[in-house]
Structure 1
Amino acid sequence: MRGGARDGIRQGAHGIRRAVDRIDAATPPERDRAVDALRACAILGVVLGHWLVTALVADGTALHAASPLQHLPWLAPISWVFQTLAVFFLVGGHVATRGYRSARARGTTYRQWLTSRLSRLFRPVAAVLALWTVAATALLLTGAPFGTVRTLVKLALSPMWFLLVFGALTAATPLLLRLHPLWPLAVVLHVDLVRFGLGGPDWLGWVNLAAGWLVPYTLGAAWTRGELEGRRAGLLLLGGGAVATAALVAWAGYPAAMVGVPGAAVSNLNPPTLAAVTFGLAQCGLALLLRDRLRSSMRRPVAWAAVAVVNLSAMTIFLWHQTALMATTATGLALGRLPGLHTVPDGLGWVAARLAWIPVFVLVLAVCRSAFRSFEQGPRRVGGRTSRVIRVHRRTEQAAVEEARRA
């Protein structure tokens, strides 16, 4: 029996290895794997960050949102590590501008290109909206407190703002091919000067929702133009962005946390502030400096297979990670108020308990990915033919499934 188990494990490992090798072999040699690695890191950073700083506290029969950053402000550096949206916009701007140039060279129209780009971005949204419409209705009909339902729906749909902004910037890509990042950075600077320095209205900050994320997006366009090659650009962005952010936090009164904190007077992220943008510049500089190292690491088939799998379901992972957290929280309520899941995040005990829950969140998210990934991986066509990236991803995933079955 033991020998049979060992043989099964050995065959399974061999099957996985063959699948990994096939994924590596199916990838076009000209593909810049560092781009995919940066995208995967950005998505996973946001997911882990949300899981670490988002708490749903049980108060009787109700749930309300909280954050350990409210009670433990010295944990702010967590947001420096996991608030990685600027890197995603950097990669998005690079991929979009490069793809648009290639599409135009092939004779593809703007409409065809944009439809192709946005379809995979927004197709998974339909499943999230449908499920949460049904869930919210069912909760209200069964007597759940309105405040609880509102909290859950707000958390579930919070990733949508990102998709709307990213979609708008993608649509404007032809206009952004030559836009220098200093122009949107200047807009952010002046908005904050009026808002915070001259007592301007708070609504003015929402101008930065577009201008703030334009900065890393247009940096991606500069990457496409070849203006960010070499270490000098990366070091300048990393050093300048870090120094500017430290100065803004230390002397200009900006919050140290790069995410929103419930109850805080100012959020660096909602809408983006100058500190969030300069911090994003530092992140983009670090990302650019890591490109060569990532390219080297991605030559390892196992590392590349993991990155390919994440990229294949990037939007599904992003859209469903909060649902995975809430599903775990709601299910756990049947067992009572569990540490790190339903308790107030006000001490190191909560932090340790939350870290222990992360594998459970991962498992639930894997179930969500399996159930809803088809919405993201539907047919994608550019000028009447299936995108090469999708063809490669489908072949690699099918290869992995076949090898797992054989094992």
Structure 2
Amino acid sequence: MAESESESPAEGRLRGAWKGIRRGAARVDAVTPADRDRAVDALRAFAILGVVLGHWLVTALVADGGVGLRTASPLHYMPWLAPISWVFQTLAVFFLVGGHVATRGYTSARARGVGTPPARANSRVGEYGQWLASRLSRLFKPVAAILTLWTVASVLLLLSGTDAGTIHTLLKLALSPLWFLLVFAALTAATPLLLRLNPLWPLAVVLHVDLIRFGLGGPAWLGWANVAAGWLVPYTLGAAWTRGELERRRAGWILLTGGAAATAALIAWAGYPASMVGVPGAGISNLNPPTLAAVTFGLAQCGLALLLREPLRRTMRRPLAWAAVALLNLSAMTIFLWHQTALMATTATGLTAGHLPGLHTVPDHLGWVAARLAWLPLFTLALALCWTAFRTYEQGPRRSTGRRSRVVRSHPASRGSAAKEHHHA
């Protein structure tokens, strides 16, 4: 009997849907310029997924009775799970790719006569502002939506008599991604001054700040200097990538092995926490503000990312893999800004059914971890609903003009020629 005759209607629909997905992926692949460096997009996509999954796995909203919620972390009760944070704390890769993309874009714009740094040509401040606005507009447009929603939600929660501590907990989680945008925006604005900055300079600042804080008993507030200096390290590594200084695999291996060895030494002998994310109740956080251990760990991550460029370029030649990465990049800021809201929406909805394992219970045993893994599909569904509702703030309204999407505009693979045209979103 022919396959089409034995196929059920459901199987036929699935087969048709799969063919449609493959056709769509083929179209995305076909309109992507041949010289686009797809590894850049893949690294950003992995960094996004790392942050999202990391937050979903280590952030717990515990209902201890009544209607109040407090934050907790399985890393506090089971510190031996710290290696989870090594996998999912991927912010250094964000800044590496961000520095590479921004410096390539700025160098290209300057070569075309756009965006001369105001420090060198005050008469062209307007051009620099135009370049900067184009870089930051996609970052901050989605922010208006999340600020508006949580402002309204906070007022409604207060009027309904919700505990103020719970509202503070929810707001802190929902708006915590905004710190990344502020730091990233500041570094982007300073890109003309960072084009040739050696990463060793900000690394030296982090080293001395930690030496004063932890070794000499200096003030704790001094650590906030590392918010800029710490993330400058991977950002300026991205600039070095643009200059063609990191093309040899040896550079990746040096960063990976050197960063990993330094991090292990700091954890084993200098008293730094093993977790690369903040843990409620811990005396020291590696991330808030960044410590030397977080920065050396980021160096190892950047080294691994550089080593993965060629394998990723080969993998991204597959239409399905590339289409998934391209679409994820098109919604990067929406996913980043709304993933915590998706977690909290699921948690709040689940309260109507009582205190559910892995969602409202104390994360103090492996059963909680197993239950939390089972909740991930619902978190993903909630995030998909947020994406449906708010993606236009990032992508803009759909156009029927046939214009090429920003997700497939050209940016050449880096080979030390930073003056090539670059339109990466």
TM-score interval w.r.t. the shorter chain? over 0.9
- Distance (whole Å) between structure 1 residues aligned to residue 87 and residue 336 of structure 2: 17
Query: How far is 1:2 from its partner?
Result: 6.3
- Distance (whole Å) between structure 1 residues aligned to residue 98 and residue 408 of structure 2: 20
1:381-392 mapped onto 2 (5 Å cutoff)? 390=406, 392=408
- Correspondent of 2:140 among 101, 114, 122: 122
User: Which segments of 5 or more consecutive residues in structure 2 lack a partner in the other structure?
Assistant: 1-5, 115-126, 410-425
- Distance (whole Å) between structure 2 residues aligned to residue 223 and residue 333 of structure 1: 48
* 1:15 aligned onto 2:20: yes
Query: How far is 1:15 from its partner?
Result: 1.2
Q: What count of residue pairs does the alignment treat as equivalent? A: 387
1:66-77 mapped onto 2 (5 Å cutoff)? 66-77=72-83
* SS of the residue 1:59 aligns to: coil
1:129-144 mapped onto 2 (5 Å cutoff)? 129-144=147-162
What is the one-letter code of the residue matched to 2:406? I
The root-mean-square deviation of aligned C-alpha atoms, in Å, is 1.5
State the partner residue of 2:56: 51
Query: How far is 1:289 from its partner?
Result: 0.3
Query: How far is 1:136 from its partner?
Result: 0.7
The answer as to whether partners of 2:330 and 2:407 remain within 8 angstroms in 1 is no
- Distance (whole Å) between structure 1 residues aligned to residue 266 and residue 7 of structure 2: 62
* 1:281 aligned onto 2:286: no
Query: How far is 1:388 from its partner?
Result: 6.5
- Correspondent of 1:375 among 378, 383, 393: 393
Query: How far is 1:104 from its partner?
Result: 1.5
- Distance (whole Å) between structure 1 residues aligned to residue 271 and residue 286 of structure 2: 11
1:330-386 CA distances to partner (integer Å, 9 max, x unpaired)? 00000000000000000000000000001110111011111101101138xxxxxx9
What is the one-letter code of the residue matched to 1:167? A
Query: How far is 1:17 from its partner?
Result: 1.0
State the partner residue of 1:202: 220
The answer as to whether partners of 2:326 and 2:407 remain within 8 angstroms in 1 is no
Judging changes above 3 Å, is the alpha-carbon distance between structure 1 residues 320 and 80 closer, same or farther for their aligned structure 2 residues? same
What is the one-letter code of the residue matched to 1:98? R
Query: How far is 1:32 from its partner?
Result: 0.2
Query: How far is 1:389 from its partner?
Result: 5.6
User: Which segments of 5 or more consecutive residues in structure 1 lack a partner in the other structure?
Assistant: 380-385, 394-407
What is the one-letter code of the residue matched to 2:51? V
Query: How far is 1:162 from its partner?
Result: 0.5
Query: How far is 1:6 from its partner?
Result: 2.8
State the partner residue of 1:103: 109
State the partner residue of 2:369: 351
1:60-118 CA distances to partner (integer Å, 9 max, x unpaired)? 21000000011000000000000000001000000000000111222222211110110
State the partner residue of 2:309: 291
What is the one-letter code of the residue matched to 1:101? T
The answer as to whether partners of 2:329 and 2:407 remain within 8 angstroms in 1 is no
State the partner residue of 2:170: 152
- Correspondent of 1:365 among 367, 373, 383: 383
- Correspondent of 2:256 among 234, 238, 244: 238
- Correspondent of 1:193 among 187, 190, 211: 211
* SS of the residue 1:344 aligns to: coil
State the partner residue of 2:89: 83
* SS of the residue 2:8 aligns to: helix
What is the one-letter code of the residue matched to 2:86? W
Judging changes above 3 Å, is the alpha-carbon distance between structure 1 residues 137 and 74 closer, same or farther for their aligned structure 2 residues? same
* SS of the residue 2:196 aligns to: coil
TM-score (norm 1): 0.93
Query: How far is 1:387 from its partner?
Result: 10
- Distance (whole Å) between structure 2 residues aligned to residue 248 and residue 387 of structure 1: 51
Judging changes above 3 Å, is the alpha-carbon distance between structure 1 residues 64 and 78 closer, same or farther for their aligned structure 2 residues? same
1:159-186 CA distances to partner (integer Å, 9 max, x unpaired)? 0100000000000000000000000000
* SS of the residue 1:12 aligns to: helix
1:262-318 CA distances to partner (integer Å, 9 max, x unpaired)? 011100000000000000000000000000000000000000011011100001000
What is the one-letter code of the residue matched to 2:391? R
- Distance (whole Å) between structure 1 residues aligned to residue 318 and residue 7 of structure 2: 32
State the partner residue of 1:402: none
What is the one-letter code of the residue matched to 1:17? R
What is the one-letter code of the residue matched to 2:316? M
- Distance (whole Å) between structure 1 residues aligned to residue 304 and residue 11 of structure 2: 44
What is the one-letter code of the residue matched to 2:313? R
* 1:251 aligned onto 2:256: no
What is the one-letter code of the residue matched to 2:372? R
What is the one-letter code of the residue matched to 2:98? G
- Correspondent of 2:334 among 316, 341, 345: 316
- Distance (whole Å) between structure 2 residues aligned to residue 369 and residue 26 of structure 1: 24
